[in-house]
Every structure is written in C-alpha cells, then in structure tokens.
Amino acid sequence: MNKSKASQTLINILCKIQNHDEMRFFLEQILTTGEINDLLDRIRIYQMLACTEAPQRECAKSLNVSISKVTRGSANLQKPKSKEYWRLKFDGLG
C-alpha cells in the first residue's frame, strides 16, 4: 500500500470510530506514548493560541513546551480559516 492509499485508509478508519473508548484504544494502538504526548502538547498550544491573545513566549512558558513548538503552531494558525476552525473546535470543550 502506498502512502496516499494509507492516508485515505487512516481517514476512513478515523471517520468510522463512533465513541471515545474506541478512539482512545485506536490511538494507543498506533501511537507511542511520546507521540501521544506530542499530540497533546500540540492541542494545548492550538487551544491557547486560537482562543486567547497570549504571546508565543507566554504560551510556551505557561504550557511548559518549547518556543519552537509554539512557533510551529502559530505558523499553522496563520493559514486562512485555520484560527477560526480551531476556535470552533475548542468552543465549549473547556
């Protein structure tokens, strides 16, 4: 299977998952603990950058992550519609 087909397969599998327990199980099967922690850091960074006006350095310090991770997240949020997309995803999640 080539990477394009693997990407489509992954998306199809994720779209079919219908509950939190199954999603947690799936993620724990395909990702290492380190990869899960990196993903959690990225979510925390996106939430802080998308939902607050905190500067990057404050975000890095508050979340105890490297400034390079925050800068990467900030760059992604500069893309058209990205910041609003993430704000909507985090709306009401706490």
How far is 41 from 25, CA to CA, in rounded Å? 19
DSSP-derived secondary structure for 42-86: HHHHHHHHHHS---HHHHHHHHT--HHHHHHHHHHHTSTTHHHHH
**pLDDT 10s digits, 17-76:** 999 999 999 999 999 999 999 999 999 999 999 999 999 999 999 999 999 999 999 999
Residues 37 and 19 in one domain: no
Range of the domain at 74: 33-94
- For residue range 62-73, list pLDDT tens digits in order: 999 999 999 999
Q: Which two tokens stand for residue 35?
A: 């990869």
Residue 59: how many other CB atoms lie within 10 Å:
22
Number of domains in the chain: 2
Q: What is the pTM of this model?
A: 0.85
Check whether residue 12 and residue 48 sit in a common domain: no
